Amino acid sequence: GIQVEQSPPDLILQEGANSTLRCNFSDSVNNLQWFHQNPWGQLINLFYIPSGTKQNGRLSATTVATERYSLLYISSSQTTDSGVYFCAVSFWNQGGKLIFGQGTELSVKP
Amino acid sequence: DAGVIQSPRHEVTEMGQEVTLRCKPISGHNSLFWYRQTMMRGLELLIYFNNNVPIDDSGMPEDRFSAKMPNASFSTLKIQPSEPRDSAVYFCASRPPGQGNEQFFGPGTRLTVL
């Protein structure tokens, strides 16, 4: 079955709007990371968050490991936030490799 | 630190040619991962090494693909012979000791096989 599921698959926002991206996963994890893939294809580490809540500027993330989901919040979005956001997890029984979701493609319009 | 270094950044080759992708992990990291990104399959693991030893190569598509890690600071991924369906972006990542620790990705190599 699906191991890592992200929603929504696509999102279009007006600059200044807020958004929430969701990641559901199918088993206990020892690692959860959020990435932003920019238009040049680079994977930028946003958060390492197997549990709890973290904030970095306009971005914050929360992982509720017992309920097997994580949320990425983007506030006051900017055009430079556009790109694809990936959630990736490492399951306890799979040796540390990351399993990626299919991503959320975000487009922020000026 | 310079981060994970990959070379070349772009590679265009013809079907049947040998392709070698290179990766230098972050100093002090003891795990190295090779991932591939395609439109059809997304991002998926090909192989990973722990302390220079291959641990899981279940994602390597077929015998045309091979990977080596001769020392803690260098790894190669080789495709021989290459085929058009191998066209993808290949990422290398490294991780400090500890199975659940954060992975850091290189800039990727965009491979096009004509």
Q: Cβ-count burial of B14 within 10 angstroms (0-12 exposed, 13-18 middle, 19+ buried)?
A: exposed
pLDDT of residue B15: 97
Give the gap in angstroms from C-alpha A82 to the nearest C-alpha of chain B.
Answer: 18
pLDDT tens figures, B57-97: 999 988 999 999 999 999 999 999 999 999 999 999 999 99
pLDDT of A55 over the 70 cut: yes
* Average pLDDT taken over every residue of chain B: 95
Q: What value, to the nearest 5°, has the Cα angle with vertex B56 and ends A33 and B97?
A: 55
- When CB atoms are compared, the residue of A98, A102, A103 closest to B45 is A98
Mean of pLDDT values over B28-36: 96
Cβ separation B99–A96 shorter than 8 A = yes
Could you tell me how many CB contacts below 8 A there are between chain A and chain B?
54
Report the percentage of chain A scoring pLDDT > 70.
Answer: 98
Quick check: helix, strand or coil at residue A110? coil
Band of pLDDT at residue B27, cut at 50, 70 and 90: very high
Cβ separation B104–A95 shorter than 8 A = no
Note whether A13 and A77 are within 8 A (CB). Answer: yes
The DSSP 8-state label assigned to residue A49 in this structure reads -
- When CB atoms are compared, the residue of B35, B89, B100 closest to A31 is B100
pLDDT tens figures, A64-82: 999 999 999 999 999 999 9
Give the gap in angstroms from C-alpha A97 to the nearest C-alpha of chain B.
Answer: 7
Q: By the CB < 8 Å criterion, does B49 face chain A?
A: no
Spatial neighbors of A107 by CB under 8 A, at least 6 apart, are A10, A11, A12, A13, A82
CA nearest neighbour of A22 among A35, A6, A42: A6
Interface test with B, best of A98, A102, A104, A105 (most B CBs within 10 A): A98
Chain B CB contacts of A90 under 8 Å are: 99-100
pLDDT of A31 over the 70 cut: yes
Query: Which residues, listed in sequence order, are joined to residue B103 by a DSSP beta bridge?
Result: none
Band of pLDDT at residue A49, cut at 50, 70 and 90: very high
Nearest residue of B to residue A91, measured between CA atoms? B100
The DSSP 8-state label assigned to residue A81 in this structure reads G
- When CB atoms are compared, the residue of A30, A35, A102 closest to B42 is A102
Chain A CB contacts of B31 under 8 Å are: 96
pLDDT of residue A1: 64
Cβ separation B102–A30 shorter than 8 A = no
* Average pLDDT taken over every residue of chain A: 94
Q: What value, to the nearest 5°, has the Cα angle with vertex B44 and ends A72 and B109?
A: 100
